[in-house]
Amino acid sequence: MLQADYALRNYNAFGFDVHARIGGLIRSETALAKLRTDKCIASMPRIVLGAGSNIVFTRDFDGLALVIDLRGKRIVSQTDDAYIVEGAAGERWHDFVYWTLQQGMPGLENLALIPGTVGAAPVQNIGAYGLELVERFERLRAFDMIDGRIVELNVQECAFGYRDSIFKNAARGQLIILSVIFRLPKRWYARDSYADITSRLAMNKISEPTAQQIFDVVTAIRREKLPDPAVLGNVGSFFKNPIVSAEYFAALQAKEPDIVFYAQCDSRVKLSAGWMIDQCGWKERSIGGAAVHKSQALVLVNRGGATGEQVLELAQVIRADVRQRFGVELDIEPLVV
C-alpha cells in the first residue's frame, strides 16, 4: 500500500515535482488503524493530502504522505427543518455539491467548483460568494492517530475561523478527517447578494434564482476568473484578505478612496487583497515560472517549470509592495511545506 520515494506531483495543485520519503493512498478506515500499529511509520512526520489544493511544497517531504481516497456519499436523515448528508473525505467537493442538488437538497451551491475534496473543505473552512462551510456544517468524523479512536467533532470543536480550523492548528497531522456531515436547511433561500452574483443574475434577467441557477452562475464566474488547476497549477487565493480596525480603515480610505472592503459584524473591516495587489501592478508579472494570474491577482500560478521557492519569492515581493503602499501584512493562506 505504501511506496518509498512517493511521487506527489498529482497530489499538489501547483503540480510541483516533489516526493515524500514514503506515501500512499488511504482507501479504508482500517488502513489507517493498521498504519498506526507500525511504530516506525507512526513516528514519522506526516502530511495528509486530499487533492493538494491548498499546499505549497518547497522541497521533498521527509516523512509520510497520506492521500485520503475514502469514497461514498449518503443521506443520513432528515429533521423537520433540515436534511443531513454525509460525504467521505476523498470525494471531490464539486461532485458532492452537484449530488446534493440532484437529491433536491440545496444549500451548498455557492461553493460550487471549489477544487479539492470533501475532507479538505473543513480544514480551511472553504468559502465563496457569500457562504462559508461553517454555515452548513453539522459534524465530522476523524481518526485520531495518537490513540487510534474514531472521534466526532461538532462545529465548536472544529474552531472554524476565516480560512481556518483546528485542523490547521492543534489537530494538524493528528486527526485525519474521514467524513463530513452537513445540515442543509429545508427552508432554503438564495444567497445572491455577492456583487458578482447579483450582476450576473441581472445580466441573465433572473430575479428569483433557483439553487441550480446559483450553482450555474457561480460555476460561470469561477471559470472566468479563476484558473483551473488541471490546466494551470494553482492553489486558489494565495493570501487571506486582511482584517483591520475601523480606525485604521478610515485613515486608509482617506488616502485610497477606491479601496475595496467588506465591513465585518464586529466593526472591523476586511480588505480585498486581490484589489491591493492589482493596484500595485502585479497582474501577470512573474518570477521564473511563478506568476500572478491575469484575471485574479490573489491567485499565483505555475506557468510551467516553477518551483515552490519561486512562488514564495514572488509572494514575498508582493507582500512588501502591499505593506509599503497600504501598510498591511498579507498572510499566506495555503500550507507551506
**233, β-bridge pairs:** 302
* Cα→Cα distances 157→84, 122, 131, 171, 251, Å: 19, 12, 20, 11, 37
Instruction: Please say if 157 is a catalytic residue.
Output: no
- Quote the least distance from Cβ 211 to ligand EPU, whole Å: 17
Which of 53, 165, 179, 237 is the catalytic position?
A: 237
Q: Does 274 contact ligand EPU by CB under 6 A?
A: yes
* Options 66, 123, 142, 298; binder of ligand EPU; rule CB under 6 A: 298
- Quote the least distance from Cβ 225 to ligand EPU, whole Å: 6
Residues 150 and 25: their CA atoms lie apart, in Å, by: 19
- Quote the least distance from Cβ 274 to ligand EPU, whole Å: 3
Residue 36 or 240: the one with the smaller Cβ distance to ligand EPU is 240
Q: Which residue has the cell 479538505?
A: 120
List the alpha helices (DSSP H) in the chain. Answer: 29-37, 39-42, 93-102, 155-158, 195-203, 211-225, 246-255, 273-279, 308-326
- x/- mask, ligand EPU, residues 223-262, rule CB under 6 A, reads --xx---------xx--xx------------------x--
- Quote the least distance from Cβ 126 to ligand EPU, whole Å: 7
Residues 176 and 145: their CA atoms lie apart, in Å, by: 7
Q: Does 318 contact ligand EPU by CB under 6 A?
A: no
SS3 304: coil
Which of 46, 92, 141, 163 is the catalytic position?
A: 163
Residues 275-294 that bind ligand EPU (CB under 6 A): 275, 278, 283
One-letter amino acid of 166: I
- Quote the least distance from Cβ 229 to ligand EPU, whole Å: 11
Residues in the chain: 337
The piece of 35-43, 78-86, 137-145, 274-282 that touches ligand EPU (CB under 6 A) is 274-282
**Total residues in contact with ligand EPU, by rule CB under 6 A:** 19
The piece of 78-86, 153-161, 205-213, 272-280 that touches ligand EPU (CB under 6 A) is 272-280
Instruction: Please say if 237 is a catalytic residue.
Output: yes
For residue 160, report the phi and psi dihedrals to the nearest 5 degrees: -70, 140
Residue 20 or 197: the one with the smaller Cβ distance to ligand EPU is 197
* Options 103, 210, 253, 272; binder of ligand EPU; rule CB under 6 A: 272
SS3 88: strand
b vs e for 230-252, b when ≥16 Cβ sit within 10 Å of the residue's Cβ?
eebbbbbbbbbbbbbeeebbeeb
Residues 189-208 that bind ligand EPU (CB under 6 A): 196
Residues 130-149 that bind ligand EPU (CB under 6 A): none
Instruction: Please say if 268 is a catalytic residue.
Output: no
Q: What angle do CA 305, 291, 162 make, to 5 degrees?
A: 115
Residue closest to ligand EPU (Cβ): 236
Q: State which H helix or E strand residue 271 sits in.
A: strand 269-271
Q: What angle do CA 304, 309, 311 make, to 5 degrees?
A: 55
Q: Which residue has the cell 515524500?
A: 20
Catalytic machinery residues: 163, 237, 333
Where does this chain bind ligand EPU (CB under 6 A)?
A: 128-129, 196, 225-226, 236-237, 240-241, 260, 272, 274-275, 278, 283, 296-298, 333
